[in-house]
Amino acid sequence: MSGISTAAIHADRDVDRGRALAPPIYQTAAFWAEDAEQFARAAVDRRGRGFYTRYGNPNHAQVAAVLAELEHTEAAMVTASGMAALTSAVLALVSSGDHVIGQRSTYGGTASVLLNLLPRLGVSTTVVDQADPAAFERALTPRTRLMLLESPSNPLLQITDLRAVADLARAHHVLTMADNTFATPVNQRPVDLGIDLVWHSATKYLNGHSDVSAGVLAGPAGLLDRVWDVAVLTGAVLGPLDAWLLLRGLRTLPLRMARHNANGQALAEALHEHPAVARVHYPGLPAHPQHALASRQMSGFGGVLGIELAGGFEAADAFLGRLRYARRSASLGGVESLAVHPASMWRGMLSAEQIAASGVAPGLVRLSAGTEDTADLVADALAAAGPAAGERTR
Ligand SMILES: *Cc1c(COP(=O)(O)O)cnc(C)c1O
């Protein structure tokens, strides 16, 4: 098997490229058939690429070919967003009466699927502390069908022991699905650790340029066929142009991640020592309580960090206001630095108690380090952290 940078460039070279050097954009809603027999065959070709674009398109197949090789899986598929990937998979894999285990620290949309959507459909759910593999075991019931994992988690960068939880789940015939958005296959391959299905918000690092909404699922072909059967019904189709843009983004994923990793690490180390900063959540810091586990299952730690300002809510808001490069935005994983203050973003959605229960401190800022020059980002963040930066004597 080739290296990851080679795979990102060549894995799709035999998929509907013809003699075009760059992949053509198949901007079509449907395909035509020569005869009734061919038409009938195309109609049942799961994750195919020659019937109807909601069922599959060559641009989807090209992205899937690259993603499967990057994630070390048999197959992959694309969806209209990360949430479309999650809901299609969950609706395919569980039924009324089943039980699902998730994490307390997890992406907000995933939390809402666990706490609102699934219970409404008669699926019971339990959320556990992801830092404790035994908590997953205690949550098991005879009806448990699926575990929804996320590591590192959004926005606290907590780590799940993917191998330990995958082994536990397998022993109990429970499927595991891991959100690999923060790590990307450059830094972590959940399937190599025993996870069944990997999913992504490709809106983030995989595309990397903040100009596409997309989702990805990667895993065994048989499981993806089941998910595809539902995705066709939910209409979670990714537009051909967006699939093409995602593929273009993927070409440089390994290059971009190298810089995101370097910038995340440099910012974490610089801010960790700043007197205005109470705590930095970043798995690459030896001070992270799960640094040893993160080092075992990851080869880099990404560009997202949680910065807890000592001055609380107002200090976090002021820090964001003073950042010169990172703008306030809910997204992450793009070439441009972005930052968000969860406590103020969630004010309209969650009560103060719900925010506190999620473990998010009022002074927490989530910073997504882009691919700008490391020195510029570090100088900017130190200046924004407050006058203390200039007045320090050491
Ligand atoms: C953004 C995000 C999602 C949701 O993906 P969309 O593409 O916005 O639907 C899921 N998980 C994580 C970790 C995310 O950051």
Q: pLDDT digits over 131-190, tens only?
A: 999 999 999 999 999 999 999 999 899 999 999 999 999 999 999 999 999 999 999 999
Residue 186 and residue 300 in one domain = no
Please check whether residues 90 and 32 belong to one and the same domain. yes
**Last residue of one domain, picked from the residues 251, 285, 313:** 251
Gap between the Cα atoms of 197 and 179, Å rounded: 9
**Residues 152, 269 within the same domain:** no
Please indicate whether residue 107 is annotated as part of the active site.
yes
191 Cβ partners below 8 Å, 6+ apart? 71, 72, 73, 198, 218, 219
Q: Tell whether 247 and 309 lie within a shared domain.
A: no
Around ligand 1, the residues with Cβ closer than 6 Å are: 81-83, 107, 109, 154, 179, 181-182, 201, 203-204, 213, 215
Counting atoms of ligand 1 from 1, which one is nearest the CA of 154?
A: 13
In a domain? residue 393: no
Tens of pLDDT, residues 74-96: 999 999 999 999 999 999 999 99
Told to judge if 16 belongs to the known catalytic residues of this protein, a careful annotator would answer no
Catalytic pick among 46, 54, 163, 248: 54
264 and 204 part of one domain: no
Residue 391 inside a domain? The answer is no
* CA–CA gap between residue 236 and residue 307 (Å, rounded): 35
Q: How far is the CA of 357 from the centre of ligand 1 (A)?
A: 21
pLDDT band (50, 70, 90) for residue 356: confident
SS3 341: coil
Taking all residues of the chain, what is their mean pLDDT, rounded to a whole number? Answer: 95
Residue 202 inside a domain? The answer is yes
pTM for the predicted model, two decimal places: 0.96
361: containing domain = 255-385
- Residue 124 and residue 154 share a domain: yes
Token pair for 121: 């459909």
Q: Indicate which CATH number applies to the domain containing 352.
A: 3.90.1150.10
Q: Classify residue 340 by its DSSP letter.
A: E
pLDDT the model gives residue 392: 46
Q: What is the pLDDT of residues 229-264, one digit of tens each?
A: 999 999 999 999 999 999 999 999 999 999 999 999
Which residue has its alpha carbon closest to ligand 1 atom 2?
201
Query: In this structure, are 28 and 94 located in the same domain?
Result: yes
Residues 66 and 37 in one domain: yes
Nearest atom in ligand 1 to the alpha carbon of residue 150 is 13
Beta-bridge mates of residue 366: 306, 340
Give percent of the chain above pLDDT 70: 98
Work out the widest C-alpha separation in the chain, in whole angstroms.
Answer: 80
* Residues linked to residue 339 through DSSP beta bridges, in sequence order: 328, 367
Query: Would you place residue 388 in the very low, low, confident or very high pLDDT band (cuts 50, 70, 90)?
Result: low
> What pLDDT score was predicted for residue 390?
44
Distance 155 CA to ligand 1 centre (A): 11
According to the model, what pLDDT value does residue 207 have? Answer: 98
Based on the structure, what is the number of domains in the chain?
A: 2
Helices (H), the chain: 4-10, 36-43, 58-71, 82-93, 108-112, 118-120, 133-139, 162-171, 184-187, 221-234, 240-251, 253-272, 291-297, 312-322, 342-345, 352-357, 374-384, 388-391
Q: What CATH number is attached to the domain comprising 46?
A: 3.40.640.10
Distance 346 CA to ligand 1 centre (A): 16
